[in-house]
Amino acid sequence: MNLLNNAAITIPFPQNEPVLSYAPGSPERGKLKDALEELKSRQIEVPLIIGGKEVRTGNTAKIACPHDHSITLGTYHKAGAAEVQLAIDAAMAAKPVWEALRWEERAAIFLKAADLLAGPYRFLINAATMLNISKNPFQAEIDSACELIDFLRFNVFFAGQIYAEQPLHSPPPIWNYVQHRPLEGFVFAVAPFNFTAIAGNLPTSPAIMGNTVVWKPASSAVFAPYYFMKLLQEAGLPDGVINFVPGSGSDVGNVCLDSPDFNGIHFTGSTAVFQSMWKQIGANIAADKYKTYPRIVGETGGKDFIFAHNSANVAALATAIVRGAFEYQGQKCSAASRAYIPESLWEPVLAELNAQIGRIKSGDVCDFGNFCNAVIDRGAYSTITEYIDYAAAAEDAEIVIGGGYDDSKGFFVEPTVIVTSNPNFKTMEEEIFGPVMTMYCYKDDDYEATLELCDQTSPYSLTGAIFGEDRPAVSLAMAKLENASGNFYINDKPTGAVVGQQPFGGARASGTNDKAGSKQNLMRWASVRAIKENFVPPTSFEYPFMDAE
């Protein structure tokens, strides 16, 4: 007997997790340094976790440290087709019990997980994030601690709002209500390397809504997600609700997408991969492989912009370019990578950029004086440096800041600023995913035309920013760039969306704009059934007008 069936439970109103400073002398600084040393001192073996059980395939890969080739954090086992099918079977087997729980009981698990992450797990998962994907303490704190905690707490609150949404009217003798059911099959969660918070949100948001999940972390970022999976188990997550299956995209993805039980994908990653998955799903729909149309939710690439009007504050503009383009080495889907600067501000902006970038230090994450660290792996390093080399050789572009790179110790690329006379230069149009900013100078009188150019330059529509103190000019930019980004910033950098404050996502080639960190995303993981109950049903078919006079 479930005693909670007789309780109306209120979910605590969520608050954004405070960001710790890690300033010299602070207690958190010492705890984080201890966690870093502890993780570096030992190597771990990361198994698959399927149906709550650890599975070792023997097919292993290295858990790397991008800023120091001499450090190996451990190894992880890779799933093959057989293990992926086991994970699907475990997810389907766990469904009946999981979806039968009162939603508040599911919520309690994720609220406990949030408190575990805010407390005993905080420095462990931050340190794992720093070492495996090369983030400085602040970037790790706002990601693997604060944002992931926020996702857990706010998503539980949003779920409560969704379940409370009921039909507006029930005229007597009718009672109308709706049931927000989990999807019929399992959800496939595919995570990127660059945010532990996203990696944790992708499987947990469907699970909060009663779904069971097969979760594939990025191959280059298994370390922190593994510890988060262990945290979820400690929080009481039943076996099989979320199944942790690292492995290659094709080995895991093909089995999941081709399963008749597949009912949704929660994806963050490259546009090309997402489009190929959509194509595969479409072909399977055409082949009548699924019981119902799968939910397709994805956030993909970006070519994010900062646009300056001549009324912009130069120091604020330059700071936004530096932070927006070079925080976490530009490896954010929201990172600024193109800027439009009016001719009248060109020289002061360049001077301020030189001054600020000149103060940036790069290196090992364990040195807390470093603003920048390494890019994620050899493939990313090669791609980014090819763009830098291309710009260095081009006649219509010039590297004015940075441009250096070195992979002898780790995958280090200097913060790089390119200026071009060609608004359609390669690095103005193509996503680079590295610390490379390309700037185009426009004539002040061409403000409106250049706004239109900005909108037309990129197939993406993720984030963008306008800087200016002239309100009509800012208003014009908002109108002209209405469809150029899903998240738009006024006098602020185009990165750093906060759960519960700026729902995140973009359209065009940037994804389905289902807004992570909002109720809209949670609604995608429920299927509504409308129920009408008639307390006094009619007992004869005749209409009133048919009565004899």
Count of all residues that appear for the chain in the document? 549
Q: What is the pLDDT of residues 467-508, one digit of tens each?
A: 999 999 999 999 999 999 999 999 999 999 999 999 999 999
Amino acid, res. 71: I
Please state which CATH number belongs to domain 31-300+511-517+527-531.
3.40.605.10
Q: Return the pLDDT at 549.
A: 65
Active-site residue numbers? 299, 333
Q: Is the pLDDT of residue 294 over 90?
A: yes
For residues 144 and 125, give the distance between their C-alpha atoms in angstroms, rounded to a whole number. Answer: 7
Mean pLDDT value of segment 425-451: 98
DSSP at 358: T
Assign residue 496 a region (left: φ > 0; alpha: ψ between -120 and 50; beta: otherwise): left
For residues 438 and 422, give the distance between their C-alpha atoms in angstroms, rounded to a whole number. Answer: 10
Mean pLDDT value of segment 44-67: 98
Q: What is the pLDDT of residues 412-424, one digit of tens each?
A: 999 999 999 999 9
Q: What is the pLDDT of residues 151-200, one digit of tens each?
A: 999 999 999 999 999 999 999 999 999 999 999 999 999 999 999 999 99
Amino acid, res. 281: I
Q: Is the pLDDT of residue 235 over 90?
A: yes
Q: What is the pLDDT of residues 237-278, one digit of tens each?
A: 999 999 999 999 999 999 999 999 999 999 999 999 999 999
Q: What is the pLDDT of residues 516-548, one digit of tens each?
A: 999 999 999 999 999 999 999 999 999 888 876
The CATH fold assigned to 304-490 is Aldehyde Dehydrogenase; Chain A, domain 2 (3.40.309)
Q: What is the pLDDT of residues 333-382, one digit of tens each?
A: 999 999 999 999 999 999 999 999 999 999 999 999 999 999 999 999 99
Q: What is the pLDDT of residues 82-91, one digit of tens each?
A: 999 999 999 9
Q: Return the pLDDT at 289.
A: 97
Q: Return the pLDDT at 547.
A: 73
Q: Return the pLDDT at 545.
A: 86
Consecutive H or E run containing 28: helix 27-40
Mean pLDDT value of segment 28-41: 98
Domain parsing of the chain, residue ranges: 31-300+511-517+527-531, 304-490
Q: Return the pLDDT at 8.
A: 81
**Of 226, 198, 214, residue with least CA distance to 76:** 226
Residue 345 CB burial class (10 angstroms; 0-12, 13-18, ≥19): buried
